[in-house]
């Protein structure tokens, strides 16, 4: 399965159109967007962005970021089936699921959760995963917030701002791939407890990534417009 990985678009429609033009001859099975499609709304802008991306692949999955409008937690109009926030969908041989928003920031952004709220939501998500998958189902997680204490959640000031709860959840559930965003300077790929974790960097700055997945093997390539 070939996956186009995006995050932190922040309303940069020109970059989305440039990406569409660049990839017009490339076939992707799935597009995953790890939040912050907009820069504090409106939700119609998120829909416009998804509509543009649909020229690359019509299978698009996403979570809301902390800078997206709160109503996006319930889905983008016309694209509700792609909403992974506390949802899980089976795509080919994989179970995709996710959680939107971020941990608490100093900036009072639109969608923020405490670690306690994250834990409550992830406990609910665990039950959904149990209902929709067998023990051997290969899993792919999408989280706007990166796991705590990794290069992917490290700010320019060398402070870790990811989620401890999400880190523990990843180590327990063991997805083969985790797609995150939020920290623009945290672009990169790491391994965490056997899971490949990627922050593609902000598309607003021209960054994106590609995953090629065969069985439980994941190969990531970081790319730039």
Instruction: Look up the CATH number of the domain holding residue 146.
Output: 3.60.21.10
189 touches 219 (CB < 8 A): no
Kindly report, residue by residue over 133-175, the tens digit of the pLDDT: 765 689 999 999 999 999 999 999 999 999 999 999 999 999 9
> What are the φ/ψ torsions at residue 141 (nearest 5 degrees)?
-105, 140
Q: Helices H, strands E: what count in the chain?
A: 4, 13
d(Cα 200, Cα 198) in Å, to the nearest integer?
6
Structural domain count, the chain: 1
225 vs 196: CA distance, rounded Å: 23
Buried b (16+ CB within 10 A) or exposed e, 89-123: beeeebbbbbbbbbbeeeeebbbebeeeebbebbe
* Residue 132 pLDDT > 90: no
CA dihedral 86, 90, 94, 100 (to 10 degrees): -20
24-63 tens-digit pLDDT: 999 999 999 999 999 999 999 999 999 999 999 999 999 9
* Per-residue model confidence as pLDDT tens digits over 77-127: 999 999 999 999 999 989 999 999 999 999 999 999 999 999 999 999 999
CB 67 within 8 A of CB 93: no
Instruction: Give dist(CA 61, CA 197) in Å, integer.
Output: 17
Structural domain of 72:
2-224
Q: Looking at the DSSP assignment, which residues form a beta bridge with residue 179?
A: 142, 198
């Amino acid at each position: 399965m070939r996956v186009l990985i995006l995050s932190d678009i922040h309303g940069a429609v020109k970059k989305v159109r440039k990406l569409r033009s660049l990839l017009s001859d490339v076939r992707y099975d799935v597009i995953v967007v790890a939040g912050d499609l907009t820069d504090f709304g409106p939700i119609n802008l998120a829909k416009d962005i998804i509509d543009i991306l649909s020229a690359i692949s019509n299978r698009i999955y996403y979570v809301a970021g902390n800078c997206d409008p709160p109503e996006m937690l319930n889905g983008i109009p016309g694209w509700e089936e792609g909403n992974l926030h506390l949802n899980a969908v089976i795509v080919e041989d994989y179970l995709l699921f996710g959680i939107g928003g971020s941990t608490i920031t100093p900036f009072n952004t639109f969608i923020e959760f405490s670690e306690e709220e994250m834990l409550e939501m992830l406990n609910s998500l665990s039950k959904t995963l149990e209902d929709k998958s067998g023990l051997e189902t290969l899993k792919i997680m999408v989280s706007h917030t990166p796991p705590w204490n990794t290069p992917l959640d490290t700010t320019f000031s060398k402070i870790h701002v990811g989620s401890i709860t999400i880190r523990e959840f990843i180590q327990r559930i063991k997805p083969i791939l985790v797609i995150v965003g939020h920290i623009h300077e945290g672009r990169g790929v790491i391994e965490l407890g056997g899971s490949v974790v990627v922050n593609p960097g902000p598309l607003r700055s021209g960054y994106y990534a590609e995953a090629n997945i065969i069985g439980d093997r994941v190969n990531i390539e970081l790319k730039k417009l």
